[in-house]
Structure formats: C-alpha cells, structure tokens
A and B are shown apart, each in its own frame.
Chain A
Amino acid sequence: MAKPLEEVMRHPVHTVVTPEKRFWLLDYLSTVDHKKIGQMYVLVGVFYLIVGGLQALLMRVQLFSPDNHFVSYQLFNQLFTMHGTNMIFFAAMPLIFGLMNLIVPLQIGARDVAFPFMNAVSLWFTFVGALLVNISWFFGDAPSAGWFAYAPIGLNQFSPGHGMDFFIIGLQIAGFGSLMGAINFIATILNMRAPGMTLLRMPLFTWTSLVASGLILFAFPPLTVGLFLYMFDRLFGSHFFDAAMGGNPVLWAHLFWIFGHPEVYIVVLPAFGMISEVVATFSRKRLFGYTSMVFATVLIGFIGFMVWIHHMFTVGFGAMANSIFAIATMLIGIPTGIKVFNWLFTMWGGQIRFKTPMMFALGFLPTFVLGGITGVMLSAAPADYQYHDSYFVVAHFHYVLIGGVLFGFFAGLYYWFPKVTGRLMHEGLGHLNFWFMFIGFHLTFFPMHLAGLYGMPRRVPTYNAGVGLEIWNQLSTIGAFVMAVSIVLFAVNVAYAFIRGKKAGNDPWDARTLEWTIPSPVPEYNFAQRPLVRGLDPLWMAKEEGKATVPPAEPLGPIHMPSNSYLPLVMAVGLFIAGLAVIYHRLFFTVLGLEILALAMLYHSLNDDEGYHVLPEEQPLAKGEGA
C-alpha cells in the first residue's frame, strides 16, 4: 500500500530509493515479485511438461506393437509412474500457479499478492520437490508404483529401492508449496481487490483461481497426512497400510483420492477461467450468464469433494455406496454443462476473431465435452466395472487433462504472453501449433477409448496380439509424435516472439479486464494508480464510454515495494537437504537441513522487511510514458 508522501518523508527509516539493480539471475533467485515468480512457475511447468512428454513418447514407442521390447517391463513401469507424477504435480500444478501468479493480481488491480515472501517460498518448495522426485533416476531407481502409488505395491516389501522414498518426500515438499500458494491466493483475492471490485465483478479467471485455491486448501492436507503415513511405513517401520500387520491398504487409496479427485478440478477450473476470458474477449461480448458461471464453479468445487469413491468402484464397497457416489458424480455433469453452454452462447451474437488463443479455446470445447461425456459414462458404476483401469479411462482423463487443462493453458498462454513479455507471438505459427496439437491429440487419445473397450488394461507394457488392439495403439503412437511436433512449434514461436515479435502495447486483443489497462510488460508496481472498478469488465466499460482507460481510485504517490530476499531459496534448499538425508537415514544431515529451514524462518521473523518506495518520478506511467 502506498503511504502519503509526507509520511514517507517524515520517516526516513523507509528507503525511498530503488535498491541497486542485481544481475538478472540473482534477481530472479531472490525475487518476491509475483510476475517473476509466475514466470519461473511457468518455466518449471513447461520443463516437466517436456520431460513427461518424452516419457510418454517412449511408452508409445513400446506400445506400437505387441510383445515389443524397446524398453524393459520395469523401465516401462517407471516411465508411466514418472509420466503421471510429472504431468500432474510438476507440469499442471506449476503452470496453473504460474498463470495465477502472473495474472490474478493484475486482474484485481493489486500491486502484489498478499504474502510476497511466502509466494517465493511456494515456488522454491515446488521446485525442489520436483527436483527430488526426478533425481531418483540418477540414484539408480525411479519409483514404479504408479502415480497413485497404491499400497502395498509401494511399500518396502514390493518396492525395496529408494525410488518410492524420493516420490513420497518430493511430493510432500511440493505439496507444502502448493498449500502455501493456495492460502496466498485466497487472501490476495479476498483482501486486495481494487476499490469497487466486488466479488461478483471479479473476472472469471480470478473466480476459478479462488475456488481452485479453496480446493487445494482442503484437498492437500489429506495427501499430506497420507504421505506422512506412507513415509512412516517405509522409513520407520509402522503399519498403517500393511495388511499383513493389521493395517489397511484401502486407507491410502481413500486418502489419495480424497485429494486426487479435487486435484482434477484444481487444475481444470483455472483452465475454465482462462477459456472464459478468451472466449469473451475474442467474441467481443460479455460472458454469457456470468452469475451462473460463478455459481457453477463453486458448485463443481463443492461436489468435487464428494465423489472420490468413483475411483474405487471396483474395490467392493457394495451397491449402496457405489450408487450414491455414481449419482454424486453424475451431478457434476450439470454445472459443467452450464459452463459449456454459457461459452457457446457467449459466442452467439458475437464477432468471433480466430486468433491463436481463440483457436485453442475452440479446440478445447469439443475435446473437453468429449472428456466430460466419457466422465458421465464412467460414473455409471456397473459400466465402470468394465471401463475401470482400462485404456478407456486413460482416454477419458487425457481428454480432461489435455483437452481441458493443456488446451486451456495454451489459450491462456497465447492470450497473456504479450502482457508478460511485451511481445506478440506469430499468428501463423500459432495456428500451426494449434492444428498439430488438436489433430495429434485426437489421433493419440480417441483410439484409446476403443483399445480400452477391446480389453486393454492400463499400465501394461505389452498387449494381446490378434484381438484388434494393434491398430488403435499404432494410431496413438503416431498421434503422440504429431503432438510432439506441436510442442516444438510452440518453442519456435516463443523464440520468434523474443527475437522478432511485434511490440504488444497495452491492449493488443481489444480486451475487457484490468490487466490490459497497464503497459506490457507490466512495471514492477503493476498499477501506478489503483483503478476504480464500477462493474464487470471495467476496461470494456471505459471503452464503451469512449474513454481510453479505467479511472484511477487514488492520486499518484510513492508505492511501497517489498525487498528481494534469498531466504525462500535457502529454506527450500534446507528442506531439500533434509528430504534427501531422511531417505538415506542420515540423521545429521536431516537435522542440518531442518535447522537451515528453521533458522531462515527465524531470521525472517525477527528482521522485518521495511521494503522500499517507488516515487512518482520513477514511474514512467505517471510521466505519461508507455500509455
């Protein structure tokens, strides 16, 4: 919050001068700026997207024909375990958090998130968590119990190596990061909106981020507990999940899916939000049924906690439990349907412009609808006995997670890329990127529905020959490579934008929300003057009134900024050391790592950050530049 200039002058304790410029790498390592943190989240996400994608390609090569021995069965099992883990925890989650960080504060007219320091801690915890899980390859033994690591296959007796330990500890650390991130965004969105932005004037991406953060808040603790117990079982000889010693392996399955099902909504809801922004902007129309969209989002989040048993229909809980959870699952189809039809009717009567972000949003629609309807099909418990753990399920959740999350993410990335970098990506390359991904995707995953119904279980490194499975698997493999090409095209497009991309300006898309009122790239303080919001789509309102931008809610003044700090990185490194040490039962290093963490926390608590102020004359916008 800005303080009146006189007060700043009266108290020379506050540094008024911007601290000296750091080397860019050091700046990023110590940043507490939500935009830079967001960029790093996106980088982490894209990196693991590529890692997970390469793992998927290896699996697809193996499955090109039955009885193939391209990779060994054990390696194949490690590949699908790491593919799932990387894609969900270290690609989807960081990408979602990345875009939330980059955009949510801008959309609500805030200068930063509620807890900038904790934001950096979240990032670095996610970073070292991902690192810990993935370096298991170099310690000779990647986990191979599947991404949901059912007991007892993941317990010591059946997974004697250290791979599972890396998995457990790494996920635990990354989970802490996500939990802190969620708390941060809830506080930010509830407390730091610009004057006049009521809850029902928030852009839909902000709304979905809020609900997704709420889901993280309640979904991650069961996973945290589950992972702790798993760790106790594996490293300290307890018997929570070991049936031979009276424990209960189904308990882990419950804990995992109580987390795991909401997790799907955690990653898909923000994608819905991005689609809503993109569809409204490129149809040049207000989002159709905004209120029911918000309502549907909240409802999906709420029901999302009451359906986890549908992942366990075949565990044998009986007809009553299965029926109840089948009906609850079907109910989710209703708010989801509301969303789909509202998107369609947003475009109805609009002026649709087929820019790359819109192409991804349009590709999202049929794809996600297919994922949704197979979801309803899966919810019918007796039919699910056939689909369960077959390639039909693999097809379904890739339609949701790629068709929903990745297409949504690409729509959002193409949409906001100019805001973040100040450069436009190439439209032609963007369209090519889209078509390769769209065609490659359907070629890969549509046949999997059929492979599943023809009797192919998931997680198999080979399949029965001569029963009609070959053709579907071959189509899938070809499709996977087409998708790989699309990712390469994306990389080329990013490089193009940085080298020769056109300057974006404040508002390259003729958009509607607050983030497009400020320069691209965004200055470190975001808004020289916080805007006054008088309705949904404030920028569009201003345009309708013939004004260039949204009116300010405050006079120009010095802007208080938090200082950079290396402590978040130090804390994460401490936790990383402790995590690695506990896997190898090194008490000294475990204590050392935790000590580093604790001392960093203590240091942060004892030394209040006074921050610094950016004065009006240092704000180019205040001097009329960049507008």
Chain B
Amino acid sequence: MESQQTLVNATDRMQLGIETSTLEGRNKVLGFWVFLGGECALFASLFAIYLTLHGQTLHGPTAKELFNLPLIGLATLFLLTSSLTGVLGINAMHRGNRRSLLRWLGVTVLLGLAFLAVQVIEFITYAHEGFGFSTSPFSCAFYALVGFHGGHVAFGVMWISTLMLQLKKEGITARKAPKVFIASLYWHFVDVVWVFIFTVVYLMGIMGV
C-alpha cells in the first residue's frame, strides 16, 4: 500500500478525495463533522454564559475600559490568514505535493503560534490592569470563553505539528490524508468560532452593548 502511494506522490497526480478513498477515511471525516456539531453546542453554551454574565463587572474593569482593539485585530488577522494557508495545504495534498503541503501546514502552525502569543500578551496585560480570572463574573466568563478557544488553538497547533512529523516520515497516504483533512476542518472551525468571539466579545464590548 505505502509503496504504491509514494509512487503516486512522485508523479504529483491529482488526488482529489484521497481523504475519503477508504472506509476508514470516510468514517473519520463523517465522525469529525459530527464532533464539530457537538463543539458548536459547547461554544454556544459558553457564549450564552458570557452574554448572561458580561454585565456583572463588580469592582473590576468593564469591557469598554479593557479591550485593546488593534491588538485583537492583529490576532484576528493571524488566525484568519492561517485558515487560508490551511486551505492551501489541503489543496497541495490533493495535488499530492508533500513538500508544498508541509510548507503550508508549517505556515499555519506559525500563524497559530503568533495568535497564541498575542493572546498571552493580552491576558498578561489584563492581569496587570486588575482583571484576573476571579475578579468578577464578567472576567470569569471572558476567560472561560476566550480561554476555551485559546485552548482549542493550542491543541490544533500541537495536532498539526504531530501530523507534519508523520507526513514527513510517510508521505501522503490514504491513511494520513483523512487525518490531515480533519485537522484542517478543526482549524477552520476554531477560526469561525473566533469570528464570533471577535464580534460578540470584543466589538460589542468596545461599543458597550
């Protein structure tokens, strides 16, 4: 099986749908879409909690006093771009181009790391401004929602890095392709959640809604 696959890779032939070429692959892709359905319910709950508690600032700072929009904008830029590079990676996988795939996944991981770095800076700044995890229900809900998302990004970074190691070793095989594909699905999902966080938490927070 593997030897065949490498042969195919060498010819750089189009491999559209390689991720669903085996039953195992189809199961993975379907199962992962299902999982993302559950993730939607998870984040929906976190958003609901945030919207319920974001007015309860007690003596701590409010959203308006706190948020630094240019910094968040930078983070948003990193993450949105990484979604694009993720797509380019999958595109390369479909072309059977391992080197290009690895390159784009690498860029995606770096952008994810950049996003995380900005988020760490953001959180440290907030902590210095007296906005810790347990300052107020608002801060709890904020860190729960944004922190859960950040945790997802961190997990994605580790996941894609592990996949890169495997791809380096074994190439694009019918076994690896679905793993790469679902990792990219995951990455897009995390990205979409961020769009909602950016809107609901940051933009609405700045506008004092």
- Give me the interface of A with B, judged by CB distance under 8 Å: 1, 11, 13, 114-115, 179, 182-184, 186-188, 190-192, 217-222, 224-226, 228-229, 232, 236-240, 245-248, 251, 255, 258, 602, 605-606, 608
Task: List B contacts of A606 (CB < 8 A).
Answer: 162, 165-166
CB pair A221 B38 closer than 8 Å: yes
CB pair B30 A239 closer than 8 Å: no
Task: List B contacts of A222 (CB < 8 A).
Answer: 41-42, 45
CB pair B166 A238 closer than 8 Å: no
- Expressed in whole angstroms, the Cα–Cα distance for A186 and B29 within the complex equals 12
- Shortest beta-carbon distance from B37 to chain A in Å: 6
In the A-B complex, the 5 residue pairs with the closest CB atoms: A221-B42, A221-B41, A246-B56, A187-B31, A114-B27
CB pair B134 A237 closer than 8 Å: yes
Nearest to A226 among chain B residues (CB) is: B45
Task: Flag B73-94 by CB within 8 Å of A: 1 or 0 each.
Answer: 0000000000000000000000
CB pair B31 A255 closer than 8 Å: no
CB pair A13 B1 closer than 8 Å: yes
Nearest to A113 among chain B residues (CB) is: B27
CB pair A115 B140 closer than 8 Å: no
From A186, A225, A255, residue with most partner B Cβ within 10 Å: A225
A225: contacting residue among B45, B52, B137, B140, CB under 8 A = B45
CB pair B34 A183 closer than 8 Å: yes
Asked if B175 is at the interface of the complex by the 8 Å CB criterion, the answer is yes
- Shortest beta-carbon distance from A542 to chain B in Å: 26
Task: List A contacts of B162 (CB < 8 A).
Answer: 602, 605-606
CB pair A247 B137 closer than 8 Å: yes
CB pair B141 A240 closer than 8 Å: yes
Task: List A contacts of B196 (CB < 8 A).
Answer: none
Other than the given A236-B134, A245-B137, 11 more pairs (CB < 8 A) read A11-B1, A183-B31, A191-B27, A221-B39, A221-B41, A221-B45, A222-B45, A229-B49, A239-B134, A240-B49, A255-B49
- Expressed in whole angstroms, the Cα–Cα distance for A190 and B175 within the complex equals 21
- Expressed in whole angstroms, the Cα–Cα distance for A1 and B52 within the complex equals 49
Task: List B contacts of A188 (CB < 8 A).
Answer: 27
CB pair A187 B53 closer than 8 Å: no
Q: Given A115-B31, A225-B49, are A236 and B133 also a contact pair (CB < 8 Å)? A: yes
- Shortest beta-carbon distance from A286 to chain B in Å: 30
- Expressed in whole angstroms, the Cα–Cα distance for A238 and B147 within the complex equals 14
Asked if B26 is at the interface of the complex by the 8 Å CB criterion, the answer is yes
How many interface contacts (CB-CB < 8 Å) are there between A and B? Answer: 112
Task: List B contacts of A229 (CB < 8 A).
Answer: 49, 140, 144
Nearest to B159 among chain A residues (CB) is: A605
Asked if B23 is at the interface of the complex by the 8 Å CB criterion, the answer is yes
Asked if B136 is at the interface of the complex by the 8 Å CB criterion, the answer is yes
- Expressed in whole angstroms, the Cα–Cα distance for A229 and B137 within the complex equals 11
CB pair A186 B31 closer than 8 Å: yes
CB pair B39 A247 closer than 8 Å: no
A192: contacting residue among B23, B42, B140, B175, CB under 8 A = B23
- Expressed in whole angstroms, the Cα–Cα distance for A112 and B1 within the complex equals 23
B140: contacting residue among A13, A191, A221, A240, CB under 8 A = A240
Task: List B contacts of A228 (CB < 8 A).
Answer: 144
CB pair A224 B27 closer than 8 Å: no
- Expressed in whole angstroms, the Cα–Cα distance for A183 and B166 within the complex equals 25
Q: Given A218-B41, A225-B42, A240-B141, are A183 and B35 also a contact pair (CB < 8 Å)? A: yes
- Expressed in whole angstroms, the Cα–Cα distance for A245 and B140 within the complex equals 11
Which of chain B's residues 16-39 have a Cβ closer than 8 Å to chain A? 22-23, 26-27, 30-31, 34-35, 37-39
Chain B contact residue count (CB 8 A cutoff):
35
Task: List A contacts of B46 (CB < 8 A).
Answer: 225
CB pair A247 B56 closer than 8 Å: yes
Q: Given A224-B42, A236-B134, A239-B140, are A218 and B37 also a contact pair (CB < 8 Å)? A: yes
CB pair A190 B37 closer than 8 Å: no
- Expressed in whole angstroms, the Cα–Cα distance for A11 and B3 within the complex equals 10
CB pair B27 A115 closer than 8 Å: yes
What would 15 A/B residue contacts be, using CB atoms closer than 8 Å?
A: A114-B27, A114-B30, A115-B27, A182-B34, A183-B38, A191-B23, A191-B26, A221-B41, A222-B42, A229-B144, A232-B140, A240-B53, A251-B49, A602-B162, A606-B166
CB pair B45 A246 closer than 8 Å: no
Nearest to A216 among chain B residues (CB) is: B38
Task: List B contacts of A182 (CB < 8 A).
Answer: 34, 38
- Shortest beta-carbon distance from B62 to chain A in Å: 13
CB pair B134 A114 closer than 8 Å: no
- Expressed in whole angstroms, the Cα–Cα distance for A508 and B44 within the complex equals 48
Asked if B209 is at the interface of the complex by the 8 Å CB criterion, the answer is no
Which of chain B's residues 128-156 have a Cβ closer than 8 Å to chain A? 133-134, 136-137, 140-141, 144
Task: List B contacts of A225 (CB < 8 A).
Answer: 42, 45-46, 49
Asked if B71 is at the interface of the complex by the 8 Å CB criterion, the answer is no
B30: contacting residue among A191, A232, A251, CB under 8 A = A191
Q: Given A226-B45, A238-B133, are A220 and B23 also a contact pair (CB < 8 Å)? A: no
Asked if B124 is at the interface of the complex by the 8 Å CB criterion, the answer is no
- Expressed in whole angstroms, the Cα–Cα distance for A11 and B26 within the complex equals 23
CB pair B45 A248 closer than 8 Å: no
Asked if B58 is at the interface of the complex by the 8 Å CB criterion, the answer is yes
CB pair A247 B53 closer than 8 Å: yes
- Expressed in whole angstroms, the Cα–Cα distance for A69 and B52 within the complex equals 44
Task: List A contacts of B31 (CB < 8 A).
Answer: 114-115, 183-184, 186-187
Task: List A contacts of B45 (CB < 8 A).
Answer: 221-222, 225-226, 255, 258
- Shortest beta-carbon distance from B149 to chain A in Å: 13
Task: List A contacts of B144 (CB < 8 A).
Answer: 228-229, 232, 238, 240
A246: contacting residue among B26, B49, B137, CB under 8 A = B137
Nearest to A562 among chain B residues (CB) is: B24
- Expressed in whole angstroms, the Cα–Cα distance for A422 and B42 within the complex equals 42
- Shortest beta-carbon distance from A122 to chain B in Å: 13
Task: List B contacts of A191 (CB < 8 A).
Answer: 23, 26-27, 30
Nearest to A218 among chain B residues (CB) is: B41
CB pair A179 B38 closer than 8 Å: yes
Task: List A contacts of B22 (CB < 8 A).
Answer: 1
CB pair A608 B175 closer than 8 Å: yes
Nearest to A240 among chain B residues (CB) is: B140
Task: List A contacts of B53 (CB < 8 A).
Answer: 240, 246-248, 251
- Shortest beta-carbon distance from A192 to chain B in Å: 7
Task: List A contacts of B23 (CB < 8 A).
Answer: 1, 191-192
Task: List A contacts of B141 (CB < 8 A).
Answer: 240
Task: Flag B106-131 by CB within 8 Å of A: 1 or 0 each.
Answer: 00000000000000000000000000
Which of chain B's residues 46-76 have a Cβ closer than 8 Å to chain A? 46, 49, 52-53, 56, 58
Task: List B contacts of A183 (CB < 8 A).
Answer: 31, 34-35, 38
- Shortest beta-carbon distance from A507 to chain B in Å: 29
- Shortest beta-carbon distance from B22 to chain A in Å: 8
CB pair B38 A238 closer than 8 Å: no
- Shortest beta-carbon distance from A49 to chain B in Å: 28
Nearest to A114 among chain B residues (CB) is: B27
Nearest to B133 among chain A residues (CB) is: A238
Which of chain B's residues 160-191 have a Cβ closer than 8 Å to chain A? 162, 165-166, 175, 179
From A187, A188, A218, A251, residue with most partner B Cβ within 10 Å: A187
- Shortest beta-carbon distance from A109 to chain B in Å: 14
Task: List B contacts of A237 (CB < 8 A).
Answer: 133-134
Nearest to B145 among chain A residues (CB) is: A225
Nearest to A241 among chain B residues (CB) is: B137
